[in-house]
Amino acid sequence: MADVRLRGVERRYEDAVALDGVDVTVADGEFFTLVGPSGCGKTTTLRTIAGLEEPTSGTVHVGGESMAGVPPEDRDVGIVFQNYALFPHMTVAENVAYGLRFRDPPEGKSEDERVRELLELVDMADYGDRMPEELSGGQQQRVALVRALAPGPRLLLLDEPMSALDARLRERLRRQVRTIQSELGVTTVYVTHDQEEALAVSDRVAVMNGGRVEQVGTPQEIYHRPETPFVAEFVGKNNRFEGEVIGREGDDALVEVDGTTFRVRAPEAAGRVAFYVRPEALSLGREGKNRTDGEGENRIAVTVETTEFLGDAARTYGSWNGREIVVKSEDVPAGERVVVAFGPEDATVV
Amino acid sequence: MRRALGSHDVEALAERAAIPALVALAAFLLFLVFYLPVATVFVEAARASALFGEVLTDEFYVGFLAHPGDALARFGGFLLALLTDPLNASFPDYRLGLFGFTAYQALLSAAASVALGVPMAYVLARFEFWGRDTVRSLTALPFVMPSIMVVVGFIAAFGEYGFVSGVFAWVGLNRLELVHTLKLVILAHAFYNAPLVARITAAAWEGIDARAVETARSLGANPYRAFRDVVVPQLLPSVLTGALLTFVFCFLSFAIVLELGGYEFATVEVWVYQSVNNFEYGLAATLAVIETVLSLGLMYAYLRYEAHQRASRAVHPPERAPLFGRPDAKRLAAWGVCLVAALVFVLPVFSMVYESLTVPVAGGDAFTLRNYAFLVDRQATGAAFQVKPLTAVKNSLLFGVGSLLLSVPIGVVLAVVSTREFAGRKVIDTLAMAPFAVSGIVVGLGLLRGLVFGTPVPAPTGIALGRATLPIVGSVPIPELLVTQVRVTVSGALAVVAAHAVGAYPFVTRNVAPMLATLDRSLVESARTLGASRARALVDVELPLVAAGVLAGAAFAFAISIGEFDSTVILTSGAGNYTMPVAIERFIGRRLGPATAMGCVLLVVTGASFVAIERLGGRFRG
């Protein structure tokens, strides 16, 4: 197994910059996710690690060795593409065995043993003689995964491997991928545009934007302590407030937003700032029947515009001074006026 | 994770070098069989550079352009006469010369091909009938149809003792003789090229969105106006593309002009051939160079023009009307087109088969197999100087396999190269396609003068121990490289294979490259990350997936080799390695029967190749 280290990696094309100085370190055995909108450079980063793209400048090290000039076939990595890229002229078993033409199976196993073991791992033992076109999308995805794992690579690279599947299958497969990955302990770099998926499966996440890494951290850190406005807005739902620091009370800053003063936990904030409050951190107080005031010392009055019922929860959308406010709550009828409140510690200033 | 250097790594190194090595080999072969011969012709022409001046000022070659001042003066006189005495003004009699006539007959041929091809496109694009797809496929047949077979077919149909003439005589009319007339040359060119025009135009017609026509109608255009304003402008570029391509092909046409026109209607190509036969190699090379420069220019113009055309498939293609039904104006016109097309295309082929199986007797024709028997008898009893039919068949098959073995690897490697993105790719593409614009006669002439007659090449013959005198030390022994001039010669047979491969490999490339280009690149990338070198990924993944294209290309290569006449006739003149087309040419002047029988053998072989190409989904140019 191996760790991965990218330092100052740039990839320039004639008329565009795909990577603009990427620094990333992936620890041995870690499940590491690159997430960002399309065109952010996450796939280019993955392809650079695999040796399918040469960086214009910067260095890539895998297991402490420089990868400069090392062709993809000598990097000892397994890759799974979005479209699976199974060889259409080979059976499932031949696909899985293909990498064993060039590297011996791990642990002194025979080629047949290795193929059977891997197909069993993904519940595809009976499908060895099928052709790829006879398989469903989910089955193809699983074959592509074990094909990549067959030679026992020190690095597994997954390029949006789930995005062509429907939501239910996606959830089941990503848990399966995660289980297999932890069992084998193979260092894994996962690329996705789906921030929810990134938070769900990763040990650590790198959020990318415009060819740069905005923030690296555990899913909890990324969600609760975004370091840039981009991360705060890209990951999960968020309510954004912008205003002027007009005073301090201990660790709290007093921020005036559109004539209303908010108290937020921000020991160093000054001048013009933006702060974010997550929908689930807002408490909603309804007038009239079982009237409650929202809890927390910052309060605003919001008119409900629409609600979304999500099954295990609901989201209420309203507006305050022309800003959209989203609150996680039970169903509230549209048009109702509610009080939305939060405490100073619920706000994140970036 | 580093392993000790073992045999595995040596193998890997060899594999890594495989693709560049293959590209270098393909480039070298291409240089040897195409660029070197063409260069030989240019050098030969340069050596006889004085001839350029002679040719360019000789009225025989360039017509009135030899005396531009005089020509201009006469045109001025004509204009003057037009003003002063319009009734008696007559256009000056300009002589076209060899080059002018070559262009003139190509122009007429292009016009005839358009006149025949566009109505055919109309029927193909706008009518539905049983076998439409088959007819559509058949429009690609000329690409593999041997020109000499067309010649035999036309002689069998329109010659003095041909089928049509026989019918005329039977009903009491005078016998008809169209051989050695310009009309027949033009008609044969139309036979060859109208399907091409029809193919290109029909594709454009089907690409016109029916909604566009409907929109024009709803805006107030009547059907005629809608056709003129919406359909015609979208068809015109394709018609012009077809016409331009036809013009280039007819400008370089050889066998048809030689056999159906004769020396009275000689084109540049025929005159080059004639000069070679008279051992006037300087003149032949000079004419060939002028011709090649002109045709390369035309081809360049064509490629520039074609690049502007965008191929599109209509979202809502127009509905096709059933061809058979209540007769209305459109349907009657379509039936007329079918009748003319049947006459032009079926008659020559039918006549060839008919003449090969009949013998004239009093009051009609009788069925016979003696023409085929002759082919077998001549093989057994023929003198050494006579053309032996089975030898021709054997040579054709041998050369066919040989050029297949040579052209398929070259074509595949070029396809691989041309689907990669790198600087200078366009140059490689263009150079690789150049054989389309260079006539077989020129390649044949180059091969003959270069490799067959021998090309001097410096070659090391050994190392000798010489002595050199150095200061202080005095005389010391030093090794010296001995170099002599070696004449590299190849046999006529190898030269024929080379010439055929030159004509064939662009078809291999054109069949393989589009299939390679549509392969998902992540397939190769998956193979690479699993440990395969670039060459291994090509062999394990890409080639199996484009196998149909490679096979179609191979069938093309075979068919083109079997039918090739132009360069073969130059390279095999007076030699024993003649092919079926050359044998047919030698029979034509003497006996129509054996020529048609041989033509039928050729028809069967190329027909089988064509079916193979069709089955494999081959792509034809255009």
Q: What is the pLDDT of residues B528-548, one digit of tens each?
A: 999 998 888 988 999 999 988
Cα–Cα distance measured from residue B52 to residue B290, given in angstroms and rounded to the nearest whole number: 9
Mean pLDDT lowest among A83-87, A93-97, B49-53, B584-588? B49-53
C-alpha neighbours within 13 Å on the C-beta side of residue B618: 27
Measured in angstroms, the CA of B605 and the nearest CA of chain A are apart by: 32
Residues of B in contact with A77 (CB under 8 A): 529
pLDDT value for B214: 79
Cα–Cα distance measured from residue A190 to residue A177, given in angstroms and rounded to the nearest whole number: 11
B3 pLDDT band, cuts 50/70/90, is very low
Cα B72 to its chain centre, rounded Å, is 37
A window 103-162, beta carbon within 8 A of B? 103, 144, 147-148, 150-151, 154, 157
User: Helix (H, G, I), strand (E, B), or coil: what is residue B102?
Assistant: helix
Q: Which residue of A lies nearest to B545 if distances are taken between CA atoms?
A: A89
pLDDT value for B85: 75
Q: Which residue of A lies nearest to B522 if distances are taken between CA atoms?
A: A85
Distances (CA, A) of B395 to A86, A269, B153, B279, B557: 45, 91, 23, 26, 15
B621 pLDDT band, cuts 50/70/90, is very low
What average pLDDT is seen over chain B?
Answer: 81
Residue B69 has pLDDT above 90, yes or no: no
Mean pLDDT lowest among A291-305, B84-98, B504-518? B84-98
A66 pLDDT band, cuts 50/70/90, is very high
The answer to whether B507 and B559 have CB atoms below 8 angstroms apart is: no
Cα–Cα distance measured from residue B171 to residue B165, given in angstroms and rounded to the nearest whole number: 10
Q: Do A73 and B1 touch (CB under 8 A)?
A: no
Q: Which two tokens stand for residue B421?
A: 């993105």
At a CB cut-off of 8 Å and minimum separation 6, what does B297 contact? Answer: none
pLDDT value for B283: 86
Cα–Cα distance measured from residue B180 to residue B589, given in angstroms and rounded to the nearest whole number: 12
The answer to whether B190 and B112 have CB atoms below 8 angstroms apart is: yes
Q: Which two tokens stand for residue A164?
A: 């062509």
B511 pLDDT band, cuts 50/70/90, is confident
> Which of A65, A89, A99 lies closest to B530 in CB terms?
A99
Return the number of CB contacts < 8 Å for A and B: 76
pLDDT value for B577: 82
pLDDT value for A46: 94
Strand order in the sheet with A323-329: A283-286, A337-342, A298-309, A314-320, A323-329
Q: Average of pLDDT values for B115-142? A: 87
> Which of A52, A65, A151 lies closest to B531 in CB terms?
A151
Mean pLDDT lowest among A163-167, B4-8, B406-410? B4-8
Measured in angstroms, the CA of B411 and the nearest CA of chain A are apart by: 23
Q: Do B525 and A147 touch (CB under 8 A)?
A: no
Q: Do A85 and B523 touch (CB under 8 A)?
A: yes
**Ramachandran area for residue B174 (φ above 0: left; ψ -120 to 50: alpha; else beta):** beta
pLDDT value for B483: 63
Pick from A78, A81, A99: nearest CA to A90: A99
Measured in angstroms, the CA of A217 and the nearest CA of chain B are apart by: 28
**Is B462 or B403 the better-scoring residue by pLDDT?**
B403
Distances (CA, A) of B97 to B57, B63, B75, B105, B342: 11, 4, 18, 12, 35
B435 pLDDT band, cuts 50/70/90, is confident
Judge whether A61 is closer than 8 Å to chain B, CB to CB.
no
> Which of A63, A65, A85 lies closest to B526 in CB terms?
A85
Residues of A in contact with B541 (CB under 8 A): 87
Pick from B173, B174, B176, B180: nearest CA to B158: B176
Mean pLDDT lowest among A125-129, B466-470, B494-498? B466-470
Q: Which two tokens stand for residue B561?
A: 């080799």
Q: Do B541 and A102 touch (CB under 8 A)?
A: no
pLDDT value for B293: 86
Q: Average of pLDDT values for B548-569? A: 88
Q: Do A52 and B525 touch (CB under 8 A)?
A: yes
Measured in angstroms, the CA of A271 and the nearest CA of chain B are apart by: 50
Q: Average of pLDDT values for A192-220? A: 93
Residue A232 has pLDDT above 90, yes or no: yes
Residue B173 has pLDDT above 70, yes or no: yes
Mean pLDDT lowest among A182-196, A246-260, B431-445, B501-515? B431-445
Distances (CA, A) of B389 to B59, B210, B353, B392, B395: 42, 55, 18, 5, 10
User: Helix (H, G, I), strand (E, B), or coil: what is residue B369?
Assistant: coil
Q: Where are the alpha helices (DSSP H) in B95-158?
A: 97-126, 132-138, 147-158
Q: Do B528 and A78 touch (CB under 8 A)?
A: no
> Which of B12, B523, B529 lies closest to A72 in CB terms?
B529
Helix and strand totals (H; E) in chain B: 30, 6
Residue B4 has pLDDT above 50, yes or no: no
pLDDT value for B46: 83
Cα–Cα distance measured from residue A117 to residue A3, given in angstroms and rounded to the nearest whole number: 26
Tokens 């190699």 sit on residue: B281
Q: What are phi and psi of B87, to 5 degrees?
A: -70, -35
Q: Which H helix or E strand runs over A314? A: strand A314-320
| Distance, first Cα to last Cα, chain A | 37
Taking only the tens place, the pLDDT of each residue in B317-330 is 777 888 888 888 88
pLDDT value for A23: 94
Q: Do B530 and A98 touch (CB under 8 A)?
A: yes
> Which of A2, A73, A157 lies closest to B533 in CB terms?
A73
User: Helix (H, G, I), strand (E, B), or coil: what is residue B191?
Assistant: helix
At a CB cut-off of 8 Å and minimum separation 6, what does B267 contact? Answer: B98, B101, B102, B105, B251, B253, B254, B257, B261
pLDDT value for B487: 62
pLDDT value for B388: 80
Residue B95 has pLDDT above 80, yes or no: no
Tokens 């393989």 sit on residue: B512
Q: Which residue of B lies nearest to A75 if distances are taken between CA atoms?
A: B529
Q: Which two tokens stand for residue B2?
A: 């580093």
Q: Average of pLDDT values for B132-157? A: 85
Cα–Cα distance measured from residue B521 to residue A79, given in angstroms and rounded to the nearest whole number: 13
Q: Do B525 and A76 touch (CB under 8 A)?
A: no
Residues of B in contact with A89 (CB under 8 A): 544-545
Residue B124 has pLDDT above 50, yes or no: yes
Share of chain B above pLDDT 70, in %: 83
pLDDT value for A278: 92
Cα–Cα distance measured from residue B198 to residue B237, given in angstroms and rounded to the nearest whole number: 13
Q: Which two tokens stand for residue B453?
A: 């007659």
Q: Which residue of B lies nearest to A85 if distances are taken between CA atoms?
A: B523
Q: What are phi and psi of A4, to 5 degrees?
A: -125, 135
A299, β-bridge pairs: A341
pLDDT value for B384: 63
**Is A279 or A331 the better-scoring residue by pLDDT?**
A279
Cα–Cα distance measured from residue B371 to residue B594, given in angstroms and rounded to the nearest whole number: 5
User: Helix (H, G, I), strand (E, B), or coil: what is residue B329?
Assistant: helix
Q: Which two tokens stand for residue A335?
A: 């048009």
Q: Do B523 and A87 touch (CB under 8 A)?
A: yes
pLDDT value for A48: 94
- The DSSP code for B89 is -
Judge whether A88 is closer than 8 Å to chain B, CB to CB.
yes
pLDDT value for A247: 87
Chosen for mutation from B526, B540, B546 (greatest number of chain A CBs closer than 10 Å) is: B526
Share of chain B above pLDDT 90, in %: 11
Mean pLDDT lowest among A190-194, A248-252, B560-564, B579-583? A248-252
Q: Average of pLDDT values for B353-381? A: 79
Residues of A in contact with B532 (CB under 8 A): 73, 98, 101-102
pLDDT value for A57: 93
C-alpha neighbours within 13 Å on the C-beta side of residue B552: 21
- The DSSP code for B240 is H
B554, amino acid identity: A
Residues of A in contact with B535 (CB under 8 A): none
A window 182-241, beta carbon within 8 A of B? none
Chosen for mutation from B530, B534, B538, B540 (greatest number of chain A CBs closer than 10 Å) is: B530
Mean pLDDT lowest among B252-256, B467-471, B605-609? B467-471
Q: Which residue of A lies nearest to B535 if distances are taken between CA atoms?
A: A73
pLDDT value for A146: 93
Distances (CA, A) of A129 to A122, A132, A133, B523, B545: 15, 9, 12, 20, 19
Residues of A in contact with B548 (CB under 8 A): none
Taking only the tens place, the pLDDT of each residue in A88-102 is 889 999 999 999 988
Cα B568 to its chain centre, rounded Å, is 13
Pick from B206, B13, B189, B19: nearest CA to B114: B189
B407, amino acid identity: S
pLDDT value for B314: 55
Mean pLDDT lowest among A142-146, A330-334, B12-16? B12-16
Q: Which two tokens stand for residue B92?
A: 């000056």
Mean pLDDT lowest among A153-157, A176-180, B153-157, B259-263? B259-263
Cα–Cα distance measured from residue B343 to residue B337, given in angstroms and rounded to the nearest whole number: 10
Mean pLDDT lowest among A309-318, B472-481, B586-595? B472-481
User: Helix (H, G, I), strand (E, B), or coil: what is residue A155?
Assistant: strand
Residue B447 has pLDDT above 90, yes or no: no
pLDDT value for B622: 35
Q: Report DSSP letters for B251-311, one per residue.
A: HT--HHIIIII-GGG--HHHHHHHHHHTT-HHHHHHHHHHHHHHHHHHHHHHHHHHHH---
Taking only the tens place, the pLDDT of each residue in B228-265 is 888 888 888 889 988 988 998 899 888 899 888 877 78
pLDDT value for B1: 40
Share of chain A above pLDDT 70, in %: 97
> What are B's interface residues with A at a Cβ cutoff of 8 A?
1-2, 12, 16, 520, 522-523, 525-534, 536, 540-541, 544-545
pLDDT value for A37: 92
**Is B308 or B410 the better-scoring residue by pLDDT?**
B410
pLDDT value for B375: 79
**Is B222 or A205 the better-scoring residue by pLDDT?**
A205
Q: Which residue of A lies nearest to B15 if distances are taken between CA atoms?
A: A73
pLDDT value for B185: 92
Residues of B in contact with A103 (CB under 8 A): 531
User: Helix (H, G, I), strand (E, B), or coil: what is residue A40?
Assistant: coil
Chosen for mutation from A1, A43, A46, A73 (greatest number of chain B CBs closer than 10 Å) is: A73
Residue B32 has pLDDT above 50, yes or no: yes
pLDDT value for B141: 80
Residue A115 has pLDDT above 80, yes or no: yes
Tokens 């790719």 sit on residue: B425
Q: Average of pLDDT values for B2-27? A: 67
Q: Do A85 and B529 touch (CB under 8 A)?
A: no
